[in-house]
Amino acid sequence: MSDHEKTKDALPTRPRGGHPYLYGAVCFLTDDEREDLSRKVAEVNDRSRKGSGK
């Protein structure tokens, strides 16, 4: 093993299972639908933050 290989930090380990970015969907929304979805996501995020004690 070379000195360079000895000084490298260990590679991060990935969690088991599929890649998290591969489980999504592409959809086309109108402006009104996008605003509605954005509002709903913001509400869920707010509830999540409040529930985590932040």
Q: What is the rounded CA–CA span in Å between residue 23 and residue 48?
A: 21
- Whether residue 36 is predicted with pLDDT greater than 90 in this model: the reply is yes
Confidence of residue 1 (pLDDT cuts 50, 70, 90): low
Alpha helices in the chain (DSSP H): 3-7, 31-51
Q: Which residues contact 51 (CB under 8 A, 6 or more apart)?
A: none
Mean pLDDT of 23-38: 83
Contact (Cβ atoms closer than 8 angstroms) between residue 51 and residue 44: no
Give tens-digit pLDDT for 5-24: 677 777 777 777 766 665 56
Q: Phi and psi (nearest 5°) for 52?
A: -90, 0
How confident is the prediction for the chain on average, in pLDDT? Answer: 77
pTM confidence score: 0.45
